[in-house]
């Protein structure tokens, strides 16, 4: 609140609430939406449905956490949906064809995502390809390789991977993985030199370079991280379906980008938070889950999600303009 | 001043949420006809393919006729979305779930959770690779592939070169139709399959793929597409050759497919009866709700439709 007024009076509670709401638009939207859905259908706020929403958020949230790093640097990663499928397929293939132990196939799947992401990062940092183009190319390459490895048919995954789709006591493992990814994202962004430097690069890459930040190295690390998170998301998805699907994760990059943007990040770089991304991902899952329970056609769901993205970003622009 | 602006922005958010609520309200069925007997959920693989649209319509019409409270969920061909929809059906306590899987392997965990929740499962068009289903209703795709090969061979005069357009890699329908076709066409030693390419069951994709293949293989006289959408795409690519020097056989028996057969651009289609698939599924769901026994498998006939008998199906 940059009140240019020298009013000595404290703002009224209502105004303070308004101010808080303005800064947490996505969260307010989420709460309002949950209340509306609760009124609309008694099935929305049941324990089993809340668990459902958790599981249904997991894959996109994990992708979106990885995407947050990229978007803060003013980049974009269009390959994450394909990388998710690719990592899961590599993991499944090492399990069925090379009969490696389950835990190792899991690690190899994650590594596949990390390396593919690093390859995009190298192309962006050193070959100077625009992020949009480099990751668009990677999206096609990774999807193609996924189809090549699998010959277009789903491959069963190892028990260790399937465990990612099961429950640990009362808590579903996908939710645990989402929490781990979220905490990792928050920790890197707010507690490490790397994280702080991402904001600098996104805010002003030239200034960041001149102040001695190894911008190229950092960019490679950022896309590698995005790939690693995509790998984890892909393995969780495969675990839920007990198989690596050649067409898994198609268009999930769009959901991930939407979640990050709804969460208040700017595609111009320099802004974004793990908590915002998480709320964005939950908001998308709640919309889908709620409209599903209300039996709204999937065609309308797409219309609604598009409107929500537009409203969220419009709201954000309005807020920043007010603040400046 | 500041305050009013803030209120306005809050109003934006509220309006958005209300719009959602309103939209939901418009879309809700007044399905109270048999809420006493419970809801039946039909999880359908996609609603952008005419075949599955007909399947859903057949189910809808039968549900209306029998007073079954039917909710239709569309997975847009994404196995993960379908898994989500089925877990939603479990938490909303559906009494019977009819599932038309996007993929046989991917649906297995969902079928197992339905088994755990003691909700009877009816599988339509594709079955799960594991888990228990009360009833499985499907066209025989392998037999259909064989029928397509027989018809195509006969119309080609038992000799020549054939292009085979495959469906989405990894779908069981593509696998089975391809298998039946490949096995049967191999028996005709003077017919050679010169190209096998996927066009993802998609009309526009098939137009491109066929154009390229015809460039490479100018002498083909036959083309088998694993669904009518691709066959129609191929017909567009072949232009004036379609139906004259090149015989095109499709699969599914969609309205457009029948039109093309009647017009002579397609030589034949192996017609499934999607409306029948949907109708039978709802019938069996109604039987389960009424506590009656249902058959474990119900094969729905596929019929080779040519110019001679297309009138009976249009």
Per-residue confidence (pLDDT) for residue A320, from 0 to 100: 72
Per-residue confidence (pLDDT) for residue B228, from 0 to 100: 94
Q: At what angle do helices A13-23 and A298-323 cross, to 10 degrees?
A: 120
End-to-end alpha-carbon separation of chain B, Å?
66
Asked if the model's pLDDT at residue A14 lies above 90, the reply is no
- Residue B173: its chain A contacts at CB < 8 A? none
Name the residue facing A154 among B19, B20, B103 (closest C-beta): B103
Reported as a pLDDT band with limits 50, 70 and 90, residue A324 is low
Token pair 């939207």 is found at: A29
| Whether B102 and B167 share a structural domain | no
Å between A133 CA and nearest CA of chain B: 23
Per-residue confidence (pLDDT) for residue B155, from 0 to 100: 96
- Please give the residue of chain B at the shortest CA–CA distance from A302: B76
Which stretch, A313-317, B17-21, B245-249, has highest mean pLDDT? B245-249
Domain assignment present for residue B14? The answer is: no
**Whether A234 contacts chain B with CB within 8 A:** no
- Please give the residue of chain A at the shortest CA–CA distance from B77: A247
B13 with A32: Cβ contact below 8 A = yes
Q: How far is it, in rounded angstroms, from Cα B182 to Cα B200?
A: 18
Identify the CATH number of the domain in which residue B229 sits: 3.40.50.2300
B106 with A150: Cβ contact below 8 A = no
Name the residue facing A292 among B14, B25, B85 (closest C-beta): B85
Q: Name the β-bridge partners of B191.
A: B160
A29 with B28: Cβ contact below 8 A = no
Domain assignment present for residue B24? The answer is: no
Per-residue confidence (pLDDT) for residue B3, from 0 to 100: 43
Q: How far is it, in rounded angstroms, from Cα A56 to Cα A140?
A: 26
Reported as a pLDDT band with limits 50, 70 and 90, residue A6 is low
Average pLDDT estimate for B173-188: 94
Asked if the model's pLDDT at residue B4 lies above 80, the reply is no
Residue, of B30 and B252, whose pLDDT is higher: B252
Reported as a pLDDT band with limits 50, 70 and 90, residue B279 is very high
Could you read off the pLDDT of A28-85 as tens digits, one per residue? 889 988 999 999 888 888 888 888 899 989 999 999 999 999 999 999 999 999 999 9
Asked if the model's pLDDT at residue B74 lies above 90, the reply is yes
Could you read off the pLDDT of B285-311 as tens digits, one per residue? 999 999 999 999 998 889 999 999 999
Asked if the model's pLDDT at residue A313 lies above 60, the reply is yes
| Whether B256 and B290 share a structural domain | no
Query: Which of A293, A306, A308 would you mutate first to test chain B, the one with the most B CBs within 10 A?
Result: A293
Could you read off the pLDDT of B21-57 as tens digits, one per residue? 444 444 444 333 444 478 999 999 998 888 899 999 9
Per-residue confidence (pLDDT) for residue A146, from 0 to 100: 95
Residues of chain A above pLDDT 70, percent: 96
Å between A67 CA and nearest CA of chain B: 20
Domain assignment present for residue B18? The answer is: no
Reported as a pLDDT band with limits 50, 70 and 90, residue B216 is confident
Asked if the model's pLDDT at residue A232 lies above 90, the reply is yes
Structural domain count of chain B:
2
- Residue B90: its chain A contacts at CB < 8 A? 48
Half-sphere exposure of B77 (CA within 13 A, CB side): 16
Residue, of A237 and A291, whose pLDDT is higher: A237
Task: Give residue limits of the domains in chain A.
Answer: 41-323
Q: B31 in the Ramachandran plot: left (φ > 0), alpha (ψ -120 to 50) or beta? A: beta
DSSP letter string over A186-250?
A: HHHHHHSHHHHHHHHHHH-HHHHHHTT--HHHHHHHHHHHHHHHHHHHHHHHHHHHTEE-TTTTT
Give me chain B's average pLDDT, please. Answer: 87
Per-residue confidence (pLDDT) for residue B289, from 0 to 100: 95
Asked if the model's pLDDT at residue B238 lies above 90, the reply is yes
Residue B128's domain comprises 40-138+274-300
Name the residue facing A29 among B16, B27, B76 (closest C-beta): B16
Reported as a pLDDT band with limits 50, 70 and 90, residue A9 is low
Which stretch, A166-170, B168-172, B264-268, has highest mean pLDDT? B264-268
Per-residue confidence (pLDDT) for residue A3, from 0 to 100: 47
**Whether A7 contacts chain B with CB within 8 A:** no
B20 with A240: Cβ contact below 8 A = no
Could you read off the pLDDT of A160-200 as tens digits, one per residue? 999 999 989 889 999 999 999 999 999 999 999 999 999 99
Per-residue confidence (pLDDT) for residue B6, from 0 to 100: 46
Could you read off the pLDDT of A98-142 as tens digits, one per residue? 989 999 999 999 999 999 999 999 999 999 999 999 999 999 999
Distances B216 to B163, B194, B213, B232 between C-alpha atoms, Å:
11, 10, 5, 20
B88 with A291: Cβ contact below 8 A = no
Å between B172 CA and nearest CA of chain A: 9
| Whether B121 and B216 share a structural domain | no
Verdict on whether the full-model pTM lies above 0.75: yes
Average pLDDT estimate for B160-178: 89
Collapsing DSSP states into helix, strand and coil, what is residue B249?
strand
Residues 6+ apart with CB under 8 A from B285: B40, B68, B96, B98, B122
Q: How far is it, in rounded angstroms, from Cα A28 to Cα A74?
A: 26
Instruction: Compute the 3-state secondary structure of chain B and give helix, strand, coil in percent, each to the nearest 5.
Output: 50, 20, 30
Per-residue confidence (pLDDT) for residue A252, from 0 to 100: 93
Asked if the model's pLDDT at residue A312 lies above 90, the reply is no
- Residue A322: its chain B contacts at CB < 8 A? 5
Average pLDDT estimate for B126-141: 91
Reported as a pLDDT band with limits 50, 70 and 90, residue A8 is low
Per-residue confidence (pLDDT) for residue A64, from 0 to 100: 98
Name the residue facing B27 among A21, A49, A300 (closest C-beta): A300
Query: Could you tell me which CATH class the domain A41-323 is placed in?
Result: mainly alpha
**Whether A241 contacts chain B with CB within 8 A:** yes
Residues of chain B above pLDDT 90, percent: 68
| Whether B229 and B119 share a structural domain | no
Reported as a pLDDT band with limits 50, 70 and 90, residue A314 is confident
Could you read off the pLDDT of A213-225 as tens digits, one per residue? 999 999 999 999 9
Å between A287 CA and nearest CA of chain B: 9
Name the residue facing B24 among A40, A240, A247 (closest C-beta): A40
A32 with B21: Cβ contact below 8 A = no
Q: Name the β-bridge partners of B224.
A: B164, B249
**Whether A311 contacts chain B with CB within 8 A:** yes
Domain assignment present for residue B2? The answer is: no
Phi, psi of B123 (to 5 degrees): -100, 135
């Amino acid at each position: 609140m940059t009140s240019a007024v020298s009013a000595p009076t404290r703002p009224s509670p209502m105004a303070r609430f308004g101010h808080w709401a303005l800064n947490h638009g996505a969260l307010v939207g989420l709460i309002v939406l949950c209340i509306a859905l609760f009124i609309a259908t008694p099935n929305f706020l049941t324990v089993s449905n809340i668990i459902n929403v958790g599981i249904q958020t997991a894959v996109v949230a994990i992708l979106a956490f990885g995407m947050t790093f990229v978007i803060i640097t003013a980049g974009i990663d269009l390959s994450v949906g394909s990388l998710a499928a690719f990592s899961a397929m590599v993991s499944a293939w090492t399990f069925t064809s090379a009969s490696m132990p389950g835990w190792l196939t899991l690690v190899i799947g994650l590594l596949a995502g990390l390396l593919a992401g690093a390859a995009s990062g190298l192309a962006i940092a050193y070959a100077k390809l625009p992020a949009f183009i480099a990751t668009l190319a990677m999206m096609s390459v990774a999807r193609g390789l996924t189809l090549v490895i699998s010959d277009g048919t789903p491959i069963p995954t190892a028990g260790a991977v399937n465990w990612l789709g099961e429950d640990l006591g009362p808590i579903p493992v996908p939710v645990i993985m989402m929490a781990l990814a979220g905490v990792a994202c928050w920790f890197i962004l707010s507690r490490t030199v790397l994280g702080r430097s991402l904001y600098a690069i996104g805010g002003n890459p030239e200034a960041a370079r001149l102040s001695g930040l190894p911008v190229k190295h950092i960019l490679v690390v950022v896309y590698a991280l995005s790939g690693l998170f995509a790998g984890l998301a892909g393995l969780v998805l495969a675990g839920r379906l007990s198989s690596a699907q050649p067409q898994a994760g198609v268009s999930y990059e769009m959901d991930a980008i939407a979640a990050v943007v709804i969460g208040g990040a700017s595609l111009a770089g320099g802004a974004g938070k793990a908590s915002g991304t998480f709320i964005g991902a939950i908001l998308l899952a709640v919309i889908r889950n709620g409209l599903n329970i209300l039996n709204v056609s999937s065609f309308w769901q797409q219309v609604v999600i598009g409107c929500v993205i537009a409203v969220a970003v419009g709201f954000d622009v309005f807020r920043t303009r007010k603040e400046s | 001043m500041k305050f009013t602006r803030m209120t306005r922005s809050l109003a934006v958010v509220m309006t958005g949420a209300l719009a959602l609520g309103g939209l939901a309200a418009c879309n809700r069925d007044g399905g109270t006809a048999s809420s006493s007997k419970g809801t039946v959920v039909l999880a359908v693989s996609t609603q952008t393919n005419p075949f599955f649209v007909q399947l859903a319509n057949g189910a809808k019409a039968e549900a209306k006729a029998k007073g079954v409270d039917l909710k239709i969920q569309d997975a847009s061909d994404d196995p993960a979305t379908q898994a989500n929809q089925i877990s939603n059906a479990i938490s909303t306590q559906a009494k019977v779930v009819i599932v038309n899987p996007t993929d046989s392997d991917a649906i297995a965990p969902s079928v197992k959770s339905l088994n755990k929740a003691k909700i009877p499962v009816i599988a339509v068009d594709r079955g799960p690779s594991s888990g228990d289903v009360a009833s499985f209703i499907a066209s025989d795709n392998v037999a259909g592939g064989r029928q397509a090969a027989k018809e195509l061979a006969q119309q080609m005069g038992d000799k020549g070169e054939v292009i085979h357009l495959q469906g989405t890699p990894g779908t069981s329908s593509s696998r089975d139709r391809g298998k039946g076709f490949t096995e049967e066409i191999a028996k005709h030693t003077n017919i050679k399959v010169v190209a096998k390419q996927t066009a993802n069951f998609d009309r526009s994709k098939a137009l491109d793929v066929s154009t390229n293949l015809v460039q490479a293989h100018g002498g083909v006289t036959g083309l088998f597409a694993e669904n009518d959408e691709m066959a129609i795409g191929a017909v567009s690519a072949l232009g004036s050759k379609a139906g004259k020097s090149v015989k095109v056989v499709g699969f599914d028996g969609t309205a457009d497919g029948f039109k093309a057969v009647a017009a002579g651009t397609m030589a034949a289609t192996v017609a499934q009866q999607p409306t029948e698939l949907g109708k039978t599924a709802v019938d069996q769901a109604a039987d389960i709700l009424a506590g009656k026994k249902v058959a474990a498998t119900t094969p729905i006939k596929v019929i080779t439709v040519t110019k001679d008998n297309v009138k009976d199906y249009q």
